[in-house]
């Protein structure tokens, strides 16, 4: 299991020089191809400024996965860090229910791995890229792996 420091380092490293609709679609298509090749049951979502620019739902997923990716994306939008980072930070700070500590509605927010901030250098977080369908650590690892390949980092 990763530490919050390791997860923060990923966010520092995996940043874009620019991010437009075409970038979002290319990233989403790359993730879709990788998930298909591995037979992974994933929902894939890429958003910028609240607009969903890419969305795909592979066999084995359901509307529940759509809801999960949205709940995790709200965490990223609110805090500017990956949903996995926020969950791990909570664990490192004594655990307990993130929802109780944050006073956020668990129907709307989920601090579970799988959604990563789209960070533009010199600007900051402007969107999210995420998946739902695997255990949280695997969801997060898939997104990071795809970002590393896409960004060449």
| DSSP letter, residue 16 | B
- Count other C-beta atoms under 10 Å from residue 134's C-beta: 18
Q: How confident is the model at residue 153 (pLDDT cuts 50, 70, 90)?
A: low
If we measure between CA atoms, which residue out of 60, 55, 66 comes closest to residue 40? 60
Could you tell me if 137 and 82 are in contact, meaning their C-beta atoms sit under 8 angstroms apart?
Answer: no
pLDDT tens digits, residue range 92-117? 888 677 877 888 888 999 999 999 99
Helix (H, G, I), strand (E, B) or coil at 44: strand
pLDDT tens digits, residue range 66-76? 999 999 999 99
Which CATH number does 4-151 carry?
3.30.450.150
Rounded Cα gap, residues 82 and 7, in angstroms: 8
């Amino acid at each position: 299991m990763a530490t919050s420091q390791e997860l923060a380092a990923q966010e520092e490293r995996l940043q874009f020089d620019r991010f437009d609709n075409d970038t979002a679609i290319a990233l989403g298509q790359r993730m879709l191809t990788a998930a298909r090749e591995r037979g992974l049951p994933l929902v894939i979502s890429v958003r910028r400024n609240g607009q969903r620019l890419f969305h795909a739902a592979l066999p084995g997923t359901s509307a529940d996965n759509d809801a999960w990716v949205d709940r995790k994306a709200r965490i990223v939008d609110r805090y500017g860090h990956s949903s996995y980072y926020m969950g791990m930070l909570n664990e490192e700070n004594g655990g307990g229910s993130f929802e109780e500590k944050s006073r956020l509605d668990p129907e709307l927010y989920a601090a579970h791995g799988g959604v990563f901030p789209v960070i533009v250098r010199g600007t900051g977080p402007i969107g999210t890229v995420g998946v739902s369908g695997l255990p949280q650590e695997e969801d997060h690892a898939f997104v990071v792996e795809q970002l590393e390949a896409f960004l060449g980092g």
